[in-house]
Amino acid sequence: MSTSPDPRIDSRSRATAVSSVTSRLGRDLRQGRNLDLYIAVGVAVVIATLGVFGVVDAKVLAAATLAVLAVMAISGLSSRHEVDGVRTALNRIAAGESGEVAAERFLSSRPPAVDTEIATATDVAIVGVTLTRTVRDMLPVLDRRLRAGARVRVMLIDADSAANVEAVARSRKADTPEFYRHRVSATLDLLRVLASSGSSETALQIRLLPFVPTFGLCLVDADDVHGRIRVEMYQHRTLEPNPTFRLRADRDAWWYALFRGQFETMWESARELRPGTGSHAVGSGER
């Protein structure tokens, strides 16, 4: 047995739909949203009505139609740009959730100052090529820490090894091994001055590498839960500044452990130099 639809239900549905559209229209107008589209629709309705009753001629009607289409096209482009912006934002959020960050947020072309962190450190470890500027800039704070009983370990290249020639091949700043020999010598002179500040003969330890490290390191209280490591990536034959980044023991556990282990590996590969001797002299840890 067939039943006919209840006209009251259809009437209520139409009333609800009209009410919803009216409510949306009022909300958009109050908030100033989609005004261009509403104006275009209004103009189109008016022009179409005038055209039907012959109030305007075909040229005016055609021009108005093109104007309305132009407004619709502009609105469409604006919506597309908004969608692209939303997509870009979502991609950034997704990248952040997966651990990806923009290089500008992670890498720096200027090594951050570490004086504040070293000011209270009990253990400092540094490795680099010649460390001439690094040791010179950190001289006062290293002196204070050694006097306070801290341990300082420093590693740089051995000017009497093949590392000296390798450094020249990788650099645009030097064309002879003497360039690095002089810089290493200057650093060792500064370290010998620091040696007298130590609370013991082993407070300041120096070792020389038989190769050029691919990155520089500055470790501050590396064994502590709040330890810090600054990594400087050395480049090949360029005058551009070296990119650097920082690692924290309480945030970057895996990578922190990797670079901390790299320092110890290099330390075991280097020969010991007693601060009060020349670069040829080594201690009991000679390799």
DSSP state at residue 202: T
Q: Classify residue 283: in a domain, yes or no.
A: no
Last residue of a domain, one of 103, 135, 151: 103
- Give yes or no: residues 129 and 27 share one domain: no
Last residue of a domain, one of 103, 127, 143: 103
- Give yes or no: residues 124 and 222 share one domain: yes
Instruction: Output the pLDDT for position 222.
Output: 96
46 vs 14: which has the higher pLDDT: 46
Hunting for tokens 């800039």 — which residue is that?
137
DSSP state at residue 164: H
- Give yes or no: residues 32 and 90 share one domain: yes
Q: Classify residue 287: in a domain, yes or no.
A: no
pLDDT digits over 74-94, tens only? 666 666 666 666 676 666 666
- Give yes or no: residues 37 and 177 share one domain: no
User: Does residue 284 surpass a pLDDT of 50?
Assistant: no
When mean pLDDT is compared over 14-23, 106-115, 277-286, the highest value belongs to 106-115
- Give yes or no: residues 11 and 140 share one domain: no
Which residue range(s) make up the domain with 209?
A: 109-273
pLDDT digits over 83-134, tens only? 666 676 666 666 556 566 677 777 777 766 777 889 999 999 999 999 999 9
Q: Average per-residue pLDDT in the chain?
A: 80
Q: pLDDT tier at 201 (50, 70, 90 boundaries)? A: confident
Q: Using CA atoms, how far apart are residues 275 and 252, in angstroms rounded to an integer?
A: 34
User: Does residue 9 surpass a pLDDT of 60?
Assistant: no
